Amino acid sequence: MFTGKVPHIIYGGDYNPEQWPEETWAEDVRLMREAGVNLVSLGIFSWAKLEPRPGEYDFGWLDRILGLLHREGVMVNLATATASPPPWLAKLHPESLPVTRDGTTLYPGSRQHYCPSSAAYKECAAALVRRIAERYKDHPALAMWHVNNEYGCHVPECYCDTSAAAFREWLRERYGTLEALNEAWGTAFWSQHYSEWDEILPPHTTPTFANPTQQLDFRRFSSDALLDLFEMEKRILREVTPGVPVTTNFMGFFKPVDYWKWAAREDLVSQDSYPDPADPESHIGAAMVCDLMRSLGEGPWVLMEQTASRVNWRRRNVLKKPGQMRLWSYQAVARGAEGVMFFQWRASKAGAEKFHGAMVPHVKSEISRSWREVKQLGNELKKLDAMQGAGGEAEVAILLDWENWWALELDSKPSADVRMLEGIYSFYKLLFEANIPVDFAHPEANLSKYRVVISPHLYLVTDSSAANLNRFVRDGGKLVMSFFSGIVDENEHIRLGGYPAPFREMLGLVIEDFTAIPEGETERIETQDGESYACDSWLDLIHLEGAEVLASHTDGFYAGTPAVTRHAFGEGAAYYLGTRPEEEYVKSLLQRACREAGVEPPLEAPSGVEVVRRKSDTGSFLFLLNHNEEPAEVQVSGRDLLTDARRVDGVRIEPFGIVILEEQR
Ligand code: GAL
């Protein structure tokens, strides 16, 4: 459990009382009690209210609301309020404003208008955080710290002169000498050799493709610059309130920020989740994000934001259907969440988010379906205390490395259409549908607890990640690797010696060349049993060096060459997909790898029924989540946790319904 101060599953949301007259607060806390709210994130966007003029603070209103919340038994996830600087900062320090790649300054008037390397922003933010921490360090309502908000969400990188100087500093740290930098960046190409440090710039808009390593390093730097801001705040909070947990809210598979590095520095991982109800597969993507969060934090995490009903920032904002908010909340709990929170508590009446759903909507609560659902969920979650601390049971891991993601999606590649998330999702979706639990892992992580590891497009590999994967297979693991893997090192230089050099021996093959398959076109592959499948996107020209062929190409000048292979290596085996076959084929390949590894789902369930187990030393809980609009039946027994622990044999799950069974141990 993250905080002994909230001894239950956390329930609540972003609370912005500064948008309301104080008379409304009394109603707020009354409704919070009704809904079973036990924690609110307070003051995330309140810097301008807390410090209306430089160095002039007004904590009166925050004192009063904290007192009120405490009296009513609601704990506080107190924000450091640094996410949106007040207008005076830009007036005093125009150089603190961020600049985009093409040189556009981003002005105040929305939020997150600060350059991550700005000294003025850092100084003012640090002073504010210290004030807040000192003032509330002993407040009994303080349960945890909410640092900033969604770092990088709108401004993941900045190209101003301050950022350029900070980038050069970062490069000096990384390379030590200009010679080393020139070598790493391959500046012999296109006359890019640098003779002085101050010649180096961020990768601004250039006539054509910018230096790939420069682009990659700028991504690394930009992620680190944001991380430094988080660290700056955390240092102050640690010093003043050593025992209070610190988090900052993540945004799922957010490309600009390397969450592995961040999660290691947080006390608990928290996540904001906004699946689109208009997308029939959005619950699969949402599950994938939950699994990433559990993996990042190596355990329980908090769903920090979701909407009770609808967002306001898509072109068309579709309401969650009756039951869907509850269902998706339990999906998060099933996959390790120990907190279910919303953006936001009370719907705003002004500002850019007034049409965003909230726990308390604009309409009278008596007629609001979403309010009824919010109340139901909050009161139900109280029955799940026994769940706390229970973990997942994944034996399959999908590899994810942000540096690889950045490098893979740089320009000037054999195909611009090989995308990291598509590669990951193509495997994840099939495992999700088979109810096989999945973790995410960094390619340098200890993989020994997994039986199957899936490695989609692992284009950039360090020596140690290459060694790690070789070791995993040699020690008995089953690896499924997809095309365009093992191609470059951390400097984005080709690993010579025949593609994919670091995996050639393990895969038992060498790739002579690759070709993109033109858009809209497909090729065909045939399995050893004579079954034929389509494939598209990419095609490797494979020569065998010991691998066995599972499927070959049937057409074109590559007819008869291997498309999919398997190679026994050490105690394990490595599968390789040299193209993108249609789903049915990938499904059978995954089934084969899982069968070989002895990996099975918790139970057989009808299509559309998600089954997830959480387990601890004291209990085992089976979540059955029906994503169908029809009821579903599952043959399983246990004690039904939500209906006062009655024992059931065989369950019927309502449309968008859920059942949680405590299993016999
Ligand atoms: C999040 C953000 C919240 C709110 C919400 C709306 O990205 O953290 O402050 O803007 O989106 O969906």
* CA of 307, closest atom in ligand 1: 12
Going through 370-416 in order, the beta strands assigned E by DSSP cover: 396-399
Judge if 348 and 479 occupy the same domain: no
Q: Which of 154, 271, 343 to mutate to test the pocket of ligand 1 (most atoms within 8 A of CB)?
A: 343
Q: What is the pLDDT of residues 541-567, one digit of tens each?
A: 999 999 999 999 999 999 999 999 999
Last residue of a domain, one of 574, 597, 620: 597
| Residue with CA closest to ligand 1 atom 3 | 343
Give the mean model confidence (pLDDT) for residues 431-448.
98
Residue 417 lies in a domain: yes
Residue 408 lies in a domain: yes
Give the Å distances, CA to CA, from 14 to 46, 133, 273.
12, 19, 14
Q: What is the pLDDT of residues 627-658, one digit of tens each?
A: 999 999 999 999 999 987 677 888 999 999 99
What token pair was written down for 373?
């659902």
| Residue with CA closest to ligand 1 atom 4 | 343
Measured in Å, residue 352 CA sits from the centre of ligand 1 at 11
Q: Which amino acid is at 5?
A: K
Give the residue carrying structure tokens 């259409």.
Answer: 417
Q: If pLDDT is split at 50, 70 and 90, which confidence band does 1 have?
A: very low
Residue 101 lies in a domain: no
Judge if 368 and 446 occupy the same domain: no
Q: Which of 42, 151, 305, 356 to mutate to test the pocket of ligand 1 (most atoms within 8 A of CB)?
A: 305
Measured in Å, residue 187 CA sits from the centre of ligand 1 at 41
Residue 127 lies in a domain: no
b/e map 237-274, b = 16+ CB within 10 Å: bbebbeebbbbbbbbbbbbbbbbbebbeebbbbbbbbb
Give the mean model confidence (pLDDT) for residues 78-99.
98
Residue 526 lies in a domain: yes
d(CA 32, CA 15): 11
Judge if 511 and 561 occupy the same domain: yes
| Residue with CA closest to ligand 1 atom 9 | 343
Q: Which of 272, 304, 341 to mutate to test the pocket of ligand 1 (most atoms within 8 A of CB)?
A: 272
CATH number, position 419: 3.40.50.880
Measured in Å, residue 552 CA sits from the centre of ligand 1 at 48
Measured in Å, residue 505 CA sits from the centre of ligand 1 at 47
d(CA 395, CA 128): 45
Judge if 348 and 451 occupy the same domain: no
- pLDDT higher than threshold 80 for residue 6: no
Residue 47 lies in a domain: yes
The helix or strand, by DSSP H or E, that contains position 532, with its residue range, turns out to be: strand 532-544
- pLDDT higher than threshold 70 for residue 299: yes
pLDDT of residue 3: 55
CATH number, position 291: 3.20.20.80
Judge if 512 and 592 occupy the same domain: yes
Judge if 474 and 347 occupy the same domain: no
CATH number, position 643: 2.60.40.1180
pTM (predicted TM-score)? 0.98
Domain interval for residue 640: 609-662
Percent of the chain with pLDDT over 90: 95
- Number of separate domains in the chain: 3
Question: Picking from 110-119, 365-374, 460-469, 485-494, which range would have the lowest pLDDT averaged per residue?
Answer: 365-374
Going through 348-492 in order, the beta strands assigned E by DSSP cover: 396-399, 438-441, 452-455, 478-482
- pLDDT higher than threshold 80 for residue 92: yes
Measured in Å, residue 343 CA sits from the centre of ligand 1 at 6
Q: Which of 247, 348, 353 to mutate to test the pocket of ligand 1 (most atoms within 8 A of CB)?
A: 353
> How many angstroms from the chain centroid is the CA of residue 498?
34
Residue 566 lies in a domain: yes
Nearest to 370 by CA among 356, 358, 385: 358
Q: What is the CB < 6 Å shell around ligand 1?
A: 149-150, 153, 272, 274, 305, 311, 343, 353, 356
Measured in Å, residue 313 CA sits from the centre of ligand 1 at 9
Judge if 365 and 408 occupy the same domain: no
* CA of 313, closest atom in ligand 1: 12
| Residue with CA closest to ligand 1 atom 5 | 343
Judge if 381 and 400 occupy the same domain: no
pLDDT of residue 648: 82
Question: Picking from 94-108, 361-375, 539-553, 589-603, which range would have the lowest pLDDT averaged per residue?
Answer: 361-375
pLDDT of residue 365: 74
Measured in Å, residue 272 CA sits from the centre of ligand 1 at 8
- pLDDT higher than threshold 80 for residue 364: no
Catalytic residues: 150, 305
* CA of 274, closest atom in ligand 1: 12
pLDDT of residue 51: 98
pLDDT of residue 447: 98
- Please provide the average confidence, as pLDDT, over all residues in the chain: 96
* CA of 45, closest atom in ligand 1: 9
Give the Å distances, CA to CA, from 5 to 302, 341, 618.
15, 17, 22
Give the mean model confidence (pLDDT) for residues 54-70.
98
Judge if 439 and 583 occupy the same domain: yes
Coil/strand/helix, residue 258: coil
